[in-house]
Structure 1
Amino acid sequence: MTRSIFGAVALSVGMSLVSVTFGGQSASQPQKAAPPSPLKKALAGPMTDVEEIVFCTRLAYEDGHWYANIGYYCDDENKKAYAGNGKPDVGKLCKLNIRTGEVTVLLDARGGSIRDPQVHYDAQKIVFSYRKNGSDFYNLYEINADGSGLRQITSGEFDDYEPIYLPDDRIIFVSTRCKRWVNCWMTQVGIMYRCNADGSDIQQVSPNPEHDNTPWVLPDGRILYTRWEYVDRSQVDYHHLWTSNPDGSCQAIYFGNMHPRTVMIDAKPIPGTDKIIASFSPGHGAKDHAGIATVVSPEKGPDDLSAARPLHKGKLIKDPYALSEDCFIAARDNQIVLMDSNGQTNVLYAHTGGGNVHEPRPLTKRQREKIIPDRVRWDQPTGRMVLANVYDGRNMAGVQHGDIKKLLVLEVLPKQVNFSGGPDLLTWLGTFSLERVLGTVPVEEDGSAYFEVPANRPVFFVA
C-alpha cells in the first residue's frame, strides 16, 4: 500500500547520475554533483520536526465545477453532487509516517466520505468534515491525532465543510446553512460561518450570494479565502482571493479580482514570509480544486499579475501546503508529493486502496496567529459603512472632485432555488440575479460617506 520515500530519493539521484554519464563527459572530467532532491532538502530543513502527514482518501467528484461537491441537484434530489455521486465512497482519514512509510487509518468512513482535515495548533487533534454512510450531509467532527476520541461538532441537514481552527480556538467553516443556490447552476451555495469549539453559537460571517471556499488564517489574524463574485459581470471569470476579519468585518480584495479567468483556491500563508501558496485552477476551475501550485507576493498589490509565480507545469496538483518558501506538500491524483520552489518533486506516498488522496497536512505543532478582537454587534439589525474617498478607485479617471453627490445602494437577492445553468429563468441574456434598490446616501465634498445598511446582506454601490 505504500511506496518507500527513500526509494524515490535514490531514483531521483540515480537518474541525475545517468544523465551525466551519458552526456559525453570523460571519466577524467570533474562531474557536477547532482542537486539535492526536494526530500533531502526538506528532511534536513523545514521538515526536520515533521514525522507524520495527515490526509484523506475518497472518490473523485463527477461534476466538473470546482464547487459542485456537496448536496444534490435541484432538478433531481436523487442525483448527488458529493464524491461518488451517491455511490458508496472509500473515505478514510489517515496519517503517513514519512520516515518509515507506515500509514495509519484514523477513521474509516465505511462507505461515507471524509474531507478537509486541519491539524490543531498543539498537533493533538484534527477537525474535519464527515458524511456518514447513508447520510447526504457533511458535518464537522474532531478526533485525536491517535484516532481516539471522535466527537461531533455540528449537526443538522446542512453541509458543513472546509473547517479551520482560529487562534482563539473557535472554528471558521463553510456551510449551506444560508439556504441559497448557485445563480448559474443547480447545486447549493456554501458561505463562511463561525462557531465555538463545541459547535455552539453558530454565526454567519459572510453575506456572499455565491460560494466562499477554503478559508485559512493569515499570520496577522485575517481570514484568506476564495470568493466567487459576479454581480453584473461574467459568471465564469471572477473567483479570486479575498480577506476578512474572523467576525466577517473588513472584507477586502487580496489578489486577482480585476482579472478574468482562473479559480484561485486552497490558499495558505508561506511560513516566514508575507507570501502565500495557492492552487490556480484553470479557467472556470477543475473538480477537486486541481490546479497549478502558485506563489503570490502581495507587496505588488491585488492587480499585478506578475506577483503570481507558478511552481511547475504539466500535471495539476491539489491542496498545496507550505512548510517553507522552498518546501511544499500537495496531493496529485493518488499521490502525496513534495515539491521545491523550482517545481522538482518527490513522491512521498502512492495510495493503492481505491480513490484519490486529498488535503495533506503536516501533523506538527504551529504558532497561533494574531487574534483580531470582534467588532461586530450581533444584536444590531444594521451595519455601518465608512467610505474614505469615492474618487480613489480603479476606474475613476476623468472624474473630478465634486462630480459625485450620491451613492446608489443596492442589494443582490440570493436565489432560494435555481433550475438552470443560464440566466434564462430570470432574464434573457442578462443578469443572473435580481437587485433591489435600498436607497441613496449623500457623498461629502471630500469624497467621504458614512451610512448604515441592513446587516448580513450582499450590497453594492453605484456612484
Structure 2
Amino acid sequence: MGRIIPTHRTQQKRNHSAFKLFCLFSLLSVQSYANEVDAQFKALEFDLTRTAHFEKVADETFHPAALVTKADGDPLDIILRRTKSLLDDISKMPDAPDMIGCANKLQSLNKQAKTSNDRKALFAEVHALRRDIAFANPLLNFEKILFIKRHRSNFSHMCDQYYGAHARPGGGVFVLSNPFGDNPQAKNILPEGALKGGSFLSPELSFDGKQVMFAYVDGTGDPKHIVHLEHERGHWDEGCCYHLFSATLDSKGNGSNLKQLTDGTFNDFDPCYLPNGRVAFISERRGGYLRCGRDCPSYTVHDMKPDGSDIRILSPHENNEWQPSVLHDGMLAYTRWDYVDRHGCVAHHPWIMTPDGRDSRAVHGNFSVKAERADMEMDLRAVPGSHKIVGTAAPHHGQAYGSIVMIDPRTPDDDAMAPVKRVTPEVAFPESQKGKQVYGTPWPLSNKYHLVAYDAKMQKKNGRQGDKSNPRGEYGIYLLDAFGNKVLIYRDHEIACLSPMPLRARPKPPVLPEKSDRLEDNPKMEGTMAVMNVYDSLLPWPEATGIKALRIYQIYPSSVPSGPRPHETGRRIAEASDSVNLTRGIIGTVPVEEDGSAYFKLPALKEVYFQALDENGLAVQSMRSSTWVQPGELLVCMGCHEPKNRAPLQSKKTALALQRAPSVPVPDVDGTKPFSYPRLVQPVLDQHCVACHAEKAGEGAPPLDRQIVQSKLGKGTTDVFRSYDSLIHDHAFWSYGDHYRTIPGEFGARASKLYPMLKNGHHNIKLSPEEMHRITVWLDSMSNFYGVYEKEGGIAQLRGEIVQPTLE
C-alpha cells in the first residue's frame, strides 16, 4: 500500500498530523522501503562505533548536527535530533508550509522513544515522518529531475574512469517526474532506439532548461587499441570514445532533435554551457599522456560553439583536468591535476579561469598536505545565493565518489582544511584518509540542501575492492541536508543513478568580456605578463636576497605513454622521481627591476613556470605549478605565490617595469631548449674534468666521461652518460624532499653538493662564467638528462644532436 506524499503545492494546504503512520511504504514497494530503512539504520549503527572519528573532524564539519557523539545512544536518538534540526530549519524558511502537524508528531515520537522497547520500529516511523518534512522544503519548487543512469567504470582511477574504452554498457539520460511524490517515474528522454548499447556520462542543462548536453560512447571497436604519436588524429577506436550529444527538452521532459556534436578518436565529455553562448568541455585534443604507469592520454578544458564547431583549446596544461562549471561571477571553475616537480598524488583541486581561458589560478589546496586533505575535489558547483562551492572529495586511485565538501574561496588557505568543511563527516576522505566512495555528483539547492548520488552499501566496503564486489554501484538519488539526513528520492537497483539536477531554468551568470585574441582569424600568438613585486611572497626570502631576473621555463607534455614498452633507452629523462620525469626547456630570462617588478612577453598557449634569480644567476625560488597566456592576454601577478586572501602590497608609484615596453626573453645557452645534458653539461666536463678523473680512478674519483650506462634512480633505469650516473645520485639536485612547496634558497644549485664544490675551486678548476652558468642552470632545472620523451629523440640526444619535442 502506498503512502500519499503531498506535492510542494498541496503541502501548504494540508495538515501533516492527518497522515497515517501505517502508510509507510513510499518507495515503489514495501520491500524496497523496508530495505532503505534497514540500510540507514545499519549505517547509523556503524557510525556509532566511530565516535572518535567524529570528534577528530568536528571542527571541520559544516554543521554539528551531522556529527555522531557519545551522547547518541542508538540510531533512533540520531534520527530524532537530526529530524528536529531539519524541521526547525524548514519552518524558518520564507514560504514554508504549515509544519505544526509534523512538529506535534515528532514531539510524540520523542516521548515514545523514552519508553519504547522496539526502537527499530520507532526508527521506521521517524524515518517516514522525516521524509514528509524533507519534501515540504520550499526549495523543492521543481517538478522534474534530470539525471543519468550509468554503471561504474571498469577502471578505478581518477583519469581512466573517463575513457570510453573502460565504460560498461547500459543506462541513458532520464527525467524523473513526480520526484517528491508517492510514485516517481523515470523516463528516458532519448527517442526510442537511439543510442542503445553504450554508456552515458556528464549531463548538463542549458540555462533556460530547454537543452541538455551529455557524453556517450557506443562501445564498438577494440577497447585495447590505442594509437601513439598521432595526437592530431586521436588515440582510440572511434567507437571507444565519448562524444558529445545534445537534445531539446519539452515541458514534459521529452527529448527531441538529438544531435551528435563531436566525433573522431578523442574522448570528449563534461560539457558546460557558458554565459557567452559557447560550451566548455573536456577533451584529449590537446595531446599528451599521463606521466606514470600506462597508456593514459591527458585531457584538458576546451570550448566550442553549441553545434560542435570551432573547437578551441582553453587550457594547454600538460596533465589532466575535469568538470568545468560556471560560478556566479561568470568565472569558469574546474579541477586540475597540478603535477609540476612534485609528488603525483597531492594536487587535484579547484582552479578558475575566465571563459576565454585567461588568468588561470588555483582557488585553494594546490599545496595542501595529503594526509590532511582530500586527494581530489571534483564535481564543483556554485551554491545558489552564496560565494561557496560544493564538491566531492574523491580519491586519486579510484573513481569520482567520496565525501561531500563545502569550499569557501574567501577563507585563507592554510594548506589544510581551513577553506573546506565536511558536509558528510561520516565519510572520511577516500585514500588520503582511507574513506569510502559513498557520495558523488552533488547539485546544491542552497548551502544546506543538495541533490546527490549516494550508495549506502559502498560505505561498508573498501573503495577499490568495492568496485569488484559491487561493479554496478547502487547509487540512488537522495536529498541530502547539512544536518546529516539523506532521504531517498529514486533508485534503480540494476544501475547507478547519477548527476541529478532540477529540470528548470536557472539564472545565467554575467558574460565576462572577451580579452583574448584567440577568436580572431589570425591571432598574434603571444601575450604579456606583469609581476608587480616578486618579494611579495607567501614564504620568506633568504636575508638580503636581491632578485635580478626571472628564468622562464616551458613544460613539454609527455608525447609518449609511460606504460611498459619494448624499449627503455631514451624514453624518459631517467625514470627517477616525480621531479625529473617532466621534460622542459628554457624560453629565456627577463630582468626584474629594483622594486621587484617585471614585465615581459610570453608565447601564447605554452605552459610555463618561473624561477627568481639572484645577482649570480642562481635560482632562489621556483614555481612548482604553471601558468600560460592566451593570445593578446596581459596576465598580472602580484608577487611570487603571494597570499591570495590578502590585499596586495601597495605602492604610491607605478611599478618600474610598467614604465617601459615589455621585455623580450633572452634565450639561454645551447642545451637548454629543450634540455640536453650531452650539449649543456658534458662539454664542460670534457674540458675540465674527464682526464683528471680517469687518471685518479684508482683513488676513487668517479668517471665523468660519455660512456653510455644504465642509470637507476627511483623505480626505472635509462641509458645516460657515465658522468651523469656519477653525479646525479649525490652531487646534483633532483628531489625537493618536500612534496608540496619550494623553500626559497633551499633547492637547485644552492642545495646541491656540486655547485659549492666548483665555486670553492675543486682541485683548482677555473670555470668560465658561461661554464659555471651551464652547471648552475642544470642544477636549478632538476638535473635533467633528456629534454624529449621518445626513444628516437633520446637516442639522438645521446649522440649530441639537437632534437625538438613533438608536443609543445
Q: Normalization by structure 1: what TM-score?
A: 0.88
1:272 paired with 2:421, answer: no
- Residue in 2 aligned with 1:230? 339
Deviations 1:53-87 (A, max 9, x none): 11111221122211212448xxxxxxx3x312xxx
1:106 paired with 2:189, answer: yes
- Residue in 2 aligned with 1:136? 240
- Residue in 2 aligned with 1:393? 537
CA distance in 2, matches of 1:229, 1:374: 26
The CA deviation at 1:374 is 1.2
Deviations 1:370-406 (A, max 9, x none): 1111111121211211212111222234455x71111
1:205 paired with 2:310, answer: no
- Residue in 1 aligned with 2:412? 301
Give the secondary structure class of the aligned counterpart of 1:150.
strand
Deviations 1:173-220 (A, max 9, x none): 000011211111321111000111111211100011001101110010
The counterpart of 1:420, out of the listed 558, 563, 575, is 563
- Residue in 1 aligned with 2:324? 215
The CA deviation at 1:42 is 5.1
- Residue in 1 aligned with 2:603? 454
The CA deviation at 1:228 is 0.3
Q: Is the 8 A contact 2:346 2:369 kept in 1?
A: yes
The counterpart of 2:587, out of the listed 438, 450, 458, is 438
CA distance in 2, matches of 1:204, 1:92: 29
Q: Output aligned runs, 1:28-427, within 5 Å.
A: 37=130, 40-41=133-134, 43-48=136-141, 50-71=142-163, 80=165, 82-84=166-168, 89-97=169-177, 98=179, 99=181, 100-107=183-190, 109-134=195-220, 135-145=239-249, 146-186=254-294, 187-261=296-370, 262-282=375-395, 284-287=396-399, 289-303=400-414, 305-312=417-424, 313-314=426-427, 316-332=438-454, 333-352=474-493, 354-378=494-518, 379-398=523-542, 400=544, 403-420=546-563, 425-427=572-574
Give the secondary structure class of the aligned counterpart of 2:527.
strand
Deviations 1:259-306 (A, max 9, x none): 033111111111001111010114x2521x001100112221344622
Identity in percent: 28
CA pair 203-406 structure 1, distance change in 2 beyond 3 A: same
Give the AA of the match of 1:364.
Answer: R
- Residue in 1 aligned with 2:632? none
CA distance in 2, matches of 1:319, 1:148: 25
The counterpart of 1:24, out of the listed 112, 115, 137, is 115
Give the secondary structure class of the aligned counterpart of 1:403.
coil
CA distance in 1, matches of 2:133, 2:477: 16
CA distance in 1, matches of 2:137, 2:113: 30
The CA deviation at 1:460 is 0.4
Give the secondary structure class of the aligned counterpart of 1:54.
strand
Gap runs ≥5 in structure 1: 27-32, 73-79
CA distance in 2, matches of 1:403, 1:20: 73
CA distance in 1, matches of 2:543, 2:315: 32
Deviations 1:136-184 (A, max 9, x none): 1111111122111101222222111000101122100000011211111
- Residue in 2 aligned with 1:77? none
CA distance in 1, matches of 2:3, 2:561: 46
The CA deviation at 1:4 is 9.6
Give the secondary structure class of the aligned counterpart of 1:390.
coil
Higher mean alpha-carbon deviation, 295-304 vs 380-389, is at 295-304
Deviations 1:439-460 (A, max 9, x none): 1111111111111111111110
CA distance in 1, matches of 2:377, 2:270: 15
Q: Is the 8 A contact 1:184 1:421 kept in 2?
A: no
- Residue in 1 aligned with 2:662? none
CA distance in 1, matches of 2:356, 2:209: 25
Give the secondary structure class of the aligned counterpart of 1:418.
coil
CA pair 39-53 structure 1, distance change in 2 beyond 3 A: farther
Give the AA of the match of 1:183.
Answer: R
Q: Is the 8 A contact 2:291 2:562 kept in 1?
A: no
- Residue in 1 aligned with 2:26? 7
- Residue in 1 aligned with 2:223? none
CA distance in 2, matches of 1:222, 1:42: 33
- Residue in 1 aligned with 2:459? none
Q: Is the 8 A contact 1:126 1:144 kept in 2?
A: yes
CA distance in 2, matches of 1:42, 1:398: 59
Structure (1 or 2) with the larger CA radius of gyration: 2
CA pair 399-37 structure 1, distance change in 2 beyond 3 A: farther
Give the AA of the match of 2:242.
Answer: Y
The CA deviation at 1:427 is 1.7
CA pair 7-232 structure 1, distance change in 2 beyond 3 A: same
CA distance in 1, matches of 2:482, 2:444: 10
Equivalent residues, number: 440
- Residue in 2 aligned with 1:75? none
CA distance in 1, matches of 2:135, 2:243: 35
CA distance in 2, matches of 1:302, 1:173: 28
CA pair 433-39 structure 1, distance change in 2 beyond 3 A: farther
- Residue in 1 aligned with 2:660? none
CA pair 43-131 structure 1, distance change in 2 beyond 3 A: farther
Q: Is the 8 A contact 1:90 1:109 kept in 2?
A: no
Higher mean alpha-carbon deviation, 316-325 vs 326-335, is at 326-335
Give the AA of the match of 1:221.
Answer: G
Q: Is the 8 A contact 2:575 2:581 kept in 1?
A: no
CA pair 174-39 structure 1, distance change in 2 beyond 3 A: farther
Higher fraction of helix: 2
CA distance in 2, matches of 1:3, 1:409: 67
Q: Which has the higher contact order (CA 8 A, sep 6+)?
A: 1
The CA deviation at 1:38 is 6.7
CA pair 20-178 structure 1, distance change in 2 beyond 3 A: farther
Q: Is the 8 A contact 1:38 1:345 kept in 2?
A: no
Q: CA RMSD, aligned part only?
A: 2.9
The CA deviation at 1:369 is 0.4
Give the AA of the match of 2:418.
Answer: S
- Residue in 1 aligned with 2:10? none
Higher mean alpha-carbon deviation, 177-186 vs 8-17, is at 8-17
Gap runs ≥5 in structure 2: 6-24, 28-32, 41-74, 81-105, 118-124, 221-238, 428-435, 455-473, 613-808
Q: Is the 8 A contact 2:412 2:418 kept in 1?
A: no
The CA deviation at 1:242 is 0.7
